[in-house]
Amino acid sequence: MRIVPYGASITGMEQRQTLHIVDGSTRARAQQAHIGFDMGHHCEVYADVGELLASSPSCGLVLARDDEGHGAVAVVLRRLAAEGIWLPVVGTSADPRPGRVVAAIKAGALDYLRLPFEFARLSEAIARISREAEAYGAARRKMIEARSRIASLSPREREVLDWLAEGRSNKMIARELEISPRTVEIHRANMMNKLGAHHAAEAVRLRIEAHLDGAQISAA
């Protein structure tokens, strides 16, 4: 691991941050660290997410390379969450493709930046994320907890939850799923029990916190 020491002072209201740079390219890591150093930040660099986790980072933000062959931001986010590390993550790429950008943001990345960095763009992203870091960590913890609970549901229980979130009654859900209202009641009761929800609104809130639209939920 190469550590770039603290450097120049930072202008304006931006606070000095620790930038955890995850990139499989030695040259790209050096370029990113050089820019971070010039901005007055402390930079630590890693060849992959395994090296990042080995250092057990407790503060700062992660700049994770998202190009094919370098890894995916979604993997970084998933592995950080598994270790209980709630640092904000920014995706980086020399060729930001819309599909990958959308996937990274849906997975929980707070921003996505083109490589090589534009000084002003990186500065703006760091300043904004620094202000949002605490709220981000709390939101990520809620999302992961909600997804973990929902992953325990059977496919049919998950369908009942999805329709419930659409405001459907038991009778309406029964028609949609082509099952009896009584069967819906059983699936709904099992779903509520697994989620630890005392009423329908609480179950729907968990689904919202899990940010399920377009996300793949599976048991850990």
CATH at 87: 3.40.50.2300
Q: What is the pLDDT of residue 85?
A: 85
In 59-207 the beta strands, taken as DSSP E runs, fall at 61-65, 89-93, 111-114
Q: Is residue 144 part of a domain?
A: no
| Strands 42-46, 3-4: pairing kind | antiparallel
Q: Does 107 share its domain with 40?
A: yes
Chunked mean pLDDT (size 10), the chain, 220 residues:
37 71 95 94 95 92 85 88 87 92 89 94 91 72 84 94 93 95 95 92 88 50
Q: Does 156 share its domain with 127?
A: no
In 3D space, the residue among 47, 211, 10 whose CA is nearest the CA of residue 122 turns out to be 10
In 3D space, the residue among 84, 128, 85 whose CA is nearest the CA of residue 110 turns out to be 128
